[in-house]
Structure 1
Amino acid sequence: MNVAVPPAARPADVALAYHARTKHSLKAYAAGPETLDWDMQPNPFREFEGAPRLALPLAAEGLGVTFAGMVTPGAVPAAVLDLAGVALLLEVSFGLAAWKQYGPDRWAVRCNPSSGNLHPTEAYVIAERVPGLPDGVHHYVSRDHVLEQRRVAAAGSGGGRLWLALSSVHWREAWKYGERAFRYCQLDLGHALGAVRYAAGCLGWSARMVEGIGRAEIARLTGLDRAQDFPGAEREDPDILIAIDTDPTPGSVAPVVRPSVSDDAGWSGAANVLDRHPLYRWPVIDQVSAATHGGGEPVPETTPMSPSPPPPRAAMAQARAAGVILARRSAQQFSAKGSTMPREAFFGLLDALLVRAAAPFDAWTYAPRIHPLIFVHRVEGLAPGLYALPRRDGVVDGLKAALRADFQWAVPDDCPPHLPLFRLVETDCRAIARTISCHQAIASDSSFALAMLSEFEPTVTGDPWRYRQLHWEAGLLGQALYLEAEAAGFRGTGIGCFFDDDLHRLLGIEGMAFQSLYHFTVGGPAADTRITTEPAYPGRSA
């Protein structure tokens, strides 16, 4: 008897089903581990044992570039592409910012933020003819600020070129967050992409994601497809390839050149095991990963960007870029008294989320699909309530149709004319923001909190890979908020735990045309004096 074989689920359906099953709600949280042993958490640092190491110089403390210069095309003279430049790029994007200690517990803080400080993102350098750096593939170990040479390549001719490849170790997040971890890994990648773009700006360079490249090619370039190099170790998911332009012309978009796909010779090093006794398995993460890899399709859309830099702000002009990056922390709690924000600072933070031909949003050509909904609590001269910031021309009508019919859509008084900010309802929304964000006080004690609403189902159905990219866009917005808040004298923190559909019902959203992917909050931090801070690289100097 012939038995009919059920058809394989479409990749888009797999992504949509994963998103639906990993939602938190007021009634239940997404599937995760029942217990955590913090003494047995996965090693936060990947290493390739046996790979030659190259120590990198430290230079961030001596970098005098201002925050305004970092985000203004052409404001910083392009640095020479050499080992020192590569070292500085890595130091202010993926390097350690400090060590923290509380009692017997000691942990590292990195320049690129991560959900739960678990850091699933790994960084690889692909170098061609960079003085001081051997040609080939190198893995960056942030703990030691060193490069491990994974592959030796024959030196070519011509000018130097540089790429960074990013991958994810899903288990680092899944160890704590279970099935929802894939979302957090993608958000971390968005933060990492932003961190690289800002770091490139410190050097007068630019950074752009290589679009239309498949995971198999990234895996071959980085050696992540070499099973023999991961004996018993957790595998890495190839995600993003970033081309570094070391001589950018403001206002122009140079063609992105890909590195040559490596052969199978010249590799060294074996990956360390990060967790020797994993207690759980979450196969749905592998399923959604496979469904959303894509195969190198061409870019389906582009968006025009304003060539103008952000309007000058005093905080940006005075703040030193490296100082802001190294001082960035995820706020653990806020002081309600210290969270009253000047209206100009609030407008400045929102302005920094608009798409321009400048860092960080020139890191790709995708049109914005993330639109913040802002719970305003403590902003001088601005009524508390719910506000919307549509970031793409033509999306307002769709948002109005999807959200509650009784929302006002009123332009606040004295709002800058170019800022597309609308007040939806005037009310004290502190309790709502706290409840929706898994009852976390950081969402209510702050100056404001926001939900990043995405144009979801049509985007994912059109190309399942966009499920990843939408999260990357949300993480990119989060990275901008982190640094802008720090430069303005405030502090931010990402919120990955929120009650998805309870928020949607509150907003009047039905179906999956729009979905919130990430929450964020900004305010005046309340310092915990019990936690001590130590240098990132004690005993090492520039």
Structure 2
Amino acid sequence: MLPYNENQERPLAVSDSPQNPLRLYHARTKHAFDAYAEGPGQLDWDAQPAPFRHYPGAPVLELPLAADRFERAYGRLAEQPPAPVPPALESLGALFELSFAISAWKSWGPNRWALRCNPSSGNLHPVEAWALCGGLPGVPDGLHHYDPERHALEHRVLVPPGDATPWLAIALSSVMWREAWKYGERAFRYCQLDVGHALGALAYAAELLGWRLRPLAIGGDELGGLLGLDRETDFPAGRYAYTEREEAEILLVVDAPGLAAPPPSASLRAHHDGAGWLGRPSRIDPAPGYRWPLVDQAAVASRTPESIPVSAPPGKLDEFPPLPPHPTTAGAAQLIRQRRSGQRFDPRQTLPRAAFLRLLDATLPRPRAPFIGQTAPAQVHLLLFVLRVDGLDSGLYLLPRGGAGDQLAATLAARFPDATPVDDCPPHLGLRRLTRASLPELQRLARALNCHQDIAATSAFSLGMLADFTTADGAGYRELLREAGRVGQALYLEAEAAGVRGTGIGCFFDDPVHEVAGLGGERWQSVYHFTVGTPVIDERIESSPPYPQRQQEES
């Protein structure tokens, strides 16, 4: 009923045309039952790339740990607060604290590692964050790198204060080698998923403060120059240059009371160069054992061109009814900081139907966190493996998320002619059951398709995100993967609010997923998987506060 072939050979590339380098990249980096995408044969964890980048020599401004002062119930987060928080040092600290800061330290025996509010593939964290501002109370004018290890700003450029209206922008960049070190050629995919999660985390933190984020139209090379990522003195060419380079990703303006739009990027760059650059970037990996040129090639091919206009999201983002308040009494900051990736799930536990439908509802692209600032129609739709949800048959389901979701449903109808809408389901969800399957059969299938990982089979449900590759050329490829990351961020927080836990899955067998769904050709591609269930907590792993010394001092 649900066919797949574990002996399937690796398919030929979807497209070998030089006009479609990203489709070639995507095809080449697929996992198959008989072969995984190219990656390192083994890992030396003692030689892992540095998880934190610093700028020694740059002045440092510690940010206050202020998020609890702005706490609001997660269930009411979508409601506009009576008065948005004024932008200043304290509120900027809260924005970073709930998006990129360390949420806890974990230890097991001699090993100790940091967890952060924004999730990342393999906990490798390629994404770096930056603040650009002028006239912000308590923050010097200029360009600042956010240091999550100290919850501080490192001043890369300081310019004389002006008398213009205050403004604030947040930029993101990626140290792609942090992912490539472990995942090889597939790393560019994971970096963009991480950027999507980061954008979602920023959107939730901004919503807690009553702020809004919107992307600015700026080319990738231009943004790299604005952040100083093209400075040869800081990032010299050489044998290992690829380990140190950062890829400029996106620039977001903060809309809040009393803030104006930033000055033009050319004017900012002139101010930066005129004022002088402070500090030098620390090394990420001085002695890598591998190199994956395809990752850099994908970055260049998908880079936003200069001066491309960023259009407003189309009407689909406004066509869904408002997401109702969540019944949880937990605070938004509390849930953001306690978010974890589940490592094991209890197969004896089920998920209430109402919680399941609420989780799905939160993934629809409304003009609120985590989708605020999304610049494209919904391109990602959910192929669900429903295993243990009260009141629902185990089987394969589809959740179209607007956009071309109805076209995907029509395509799947050929494979599943008996597909039916789910009874007593909110009509705007459009959830439909494609086919029933016994729990043992579905468990075997979910486990096999997700690189034989139990977390996809012991959970309440798992899913694959099917993306419409119609616009997957150029910068559209990044947008598509980022949207999948945003969906994952919604699932993470909604799972925490429901008292369960989520886990993103980057390792799956691409074309076997398409075979199960009856999808041929290159239009619909699985780009990210996810699973949600009742976690089994490993009590051997100890947890400690993120900034213990500072929290004692500020308490």
TM-score, normalized by the shorter chain, greater than 0.5: yes
Deviates more, 1:150-159 or 1:373-382: 150-159
Contact 1:301–1:367 (CA<8 Å) still a contact in 2? no
Does 2:248 correspond to 1:238? yes
With over 3 angstroms needed to count, the CA separation of the structure-2 counterparts of 1:255 and 1:345, relative to structure 1, is farther
Aligned to 1:189: 195
Does 2:278 correspond to 1:268? yes
With over 3 angstroms needed to count, the CA separation of the structure-2 counterparts of 1:153 and 1:446, relative to structure 1, is same
The residue type paired with residue 200 of structure 2 is: G
Does 2:533 correspond to 1:523? yes
Aligned to 2:219: 214
Contact 2:67–2:93 (CA<8 Å) still a contact in 1? no
Whole-angstrom distance in 1 between the partners of 2:97 and 2:344: 27
Residues 104-131 of structure 1 deviation map (CA, whole Å, 9 limit, x = unaligned): 1100000000000000000011011101
Calculate percent identity across the aligned residue pairs: 49
Aligned to 2:102: 96
The residue type paired with residue 162 of structure 1 is: L
Q: CA deviation at 1:483?
A: 0.4
Does 2:411 correspond to 1:401? yes
Aligned to 1:431: 444
Whole-angstrom distance in 1 between the partners of 2:372 and 2:263: 16
- Which of 301, 306, 328 is residue 339 of structure 2 equivalent to? 328
- Which of 231, 234, 242 is residue 226 of structure 1 equivalent to? 231
Whole-angstrom distance in 2 between the partners of 1:89 and 1:59: 9
Contact 1:215–1:238 (CA<8 Å) still a contact in 2? yes
With over 3 angstroms needed to count, the CA separation of the structure-2 counterparts of 1:285 and 1:354, relative to structure 1, is same
The residue type paired with residue 451 of structure 1 is: G
Aligned to 1:3: none
Q: Give secondary structure in 2 for the equivalent of 1:229.
A: coil
Aligned to 1:22: 29
Contact 1:135–1:155 (CA<8 Å) still a contact in 2? yes
Aligned to 1:539: 549
Q: Give secondary structure in 2 for the equivalent of 1:151.
A: strand
- Which of 24, 41, 66 is residue 48 of structure 2 equivalent to? 41
Q: CA deviation at 1:364?
A: 2.3
The alignment covers a number of residue pairs equal to 522
The residue type paired with residue 415 of structure 2 is: A
Q: CA deviation at 1:301?
A: 7.1
Q: CA deviation at 1:375?
A: 0.5
The residue type paired with residue 194 of structure 2 is: D
Residues 395-438 of structure 1 deviation map (CA, whole Å, 9 limit, x = unaligned): 31344225643343311111112211111011131211111000
Residues 211-257 of structure 1 deviation map (CA, whole Å, 9 limit, x = unaligned): x32112211221111121235670100011111111399xxxx9887
Q: Give secondary structure in 2 for the equivalent of 1:497.
A: coil
Q: Give secondary structure in 2 for the equivalent of 1:262.
A: helix
Residues 319-375 of structure 1 deviation map (CA, whole Å, 9 limit, x = unaligned): 20000000000111111123x111000000000011212212122232110001110
Q: TM-score, normalised by structure 2?
A: 0.91
Q: CA deviation at 1:75?
A: 2.9
The residue type paired with residue 228 of structure 1 is: T
Q: CA deviation at 1:522?
A: 0.5
Contact 2:253–2:261 (CA<8 Å) still a contact in 1? no
Contact 1:205–1:248 (CA<8 Å) still a contact in 2? no
Residues 12-60 of structure 1 deviation map (CA, whole Å, 9 limit, x = unaligned): 5110111011000100000000110111101100011111111111022
Unpaired runs of 5+ in structure 1?
1-8
Contact 1:217–1:261 (CA<8 Å) still a contact in 2? no
Does 2:91 correspond to 1:85? yes
Whole-angstrom distance in 1 between the partners of 2:18 and 2:169: 29
Contact 1:309–1:357 (CA<8 Å) still a contact in 2? no
The residue type paired with residue 455 of structure 2 is: I
With over 3 angstroms needed to count, the CA separation of the structure-2 counterparts of 1:353 and 1:257, relative to structure 1, is farther
Aligned to 1:177: 183
- Which of 460, 463, 468 is residue 472 of structure 2 equivalent to? 460
Does 2:499 correspond to 1:484? no
Deviates more, 1:74-83 or 1:364-373: 74-83
The residue type paired with residue 452 of structure 2 is: H
Aligned to 2:150: 144
Does 2:457 correspond to 1:447? no
Q: Give secondary structure in 1 for the equivalent of 2:479.
A: helix
The residue type paired with residue 44 of structure 2 is: D
The residue type paired with residue 49 of structure 1 is: P
Q: Give secondary structure in 2 for the equivalent of 1:134.
A: coil
The residue type paired with residue 478 of structure 1 is: G
Contact 1:69–1:75 (CA<8 Å) still a contact in 2? no
Contact 2:345–2:536 (CA<8 Å) still a contact in 1? yes
Whole-angstrom distance in 2 between the partners of 1:534 and 1:360: 28
Whole-angstrom distance in 1 between the partners of 2:412 and 2:356: 26
Contact 2:66–2:91 (CA<8 Å) still a contact in 1? no
Deviates more, 1:355-364 or 1:504-513: 355-364
Aligned to 2:360: 350
Q: Give secondary structure in 1 for the equivalent of 2:288.
A: coil
Aligned to 1:306: 318
Aligned to 1:165: 171
Deviates more, 1:487-496 or 1:287-296: 287-296
Aligned to 1:64: 71
Deviates more, 1:272-281 or 1:363-372: 363-372
Whole-angstrom distance in 1 between the partners of 2:220 and 2:409: 33
Contact 1:230–1:272 (CA<8 Å) still a contact in 2? no
Contact 1:208–1:243 (CA<8 Å) still a contact in 2? yes
The residue type paired with residue 182 of structure 1 is: F
The residue type paired with residue 321 of structure 1 is: A
With over 3 angstroms needed to count, the CA separation of the structure-2 counterparts of 1:441 and 1:84, relative to structure 1, is same
With over 3 angstroms needed to count, the CA separation of the structure-2 counterparts of 1:207 and 1:11, relative to structure 1, is farther
Deviates more, 1:152-161 or 1:384-393: 152-161
**Cα RMSD (Å) of the superposition?**
1.9
Whole-angstrom distance in 1 between the partners of 2:100 and 2:423: 41
Contact 2:379–2:403 (CA<8 Å) still a contact in 1? no
Q: How does 1:194-209 map to 2 (within 5 A)?
A: 194-209=200-215
With over 3 angstroms needed to count, the CA separation of the structure-2 counterparts of 1:502 and 1:321, relative to structure 1, is same
Residues 245-282 of structure 1 deviation map (CA, whole Å, 9 limit, x = unaligned): 11399xxxx98875543122321111111111100000
Whole-angstrom distance in 2 between the partners of 1:439 and 1:329: 22
Q: TM-score, normalised by structure 1?
A: 0.93
Q: CA deviation at 1:11?
A: 6.6
Contact 2:383–2:396 (CA<8 Å) still a contact in 1? yes
- Which of 499, 520, 524 is residue 514 of structure 1 equivalent to? 524
Contact 1:71–1:360 (CA<8 Å) still a contact in 2? no
Whole-angstrom distance in 1 between the partners of 2:344 and 2:263: 44
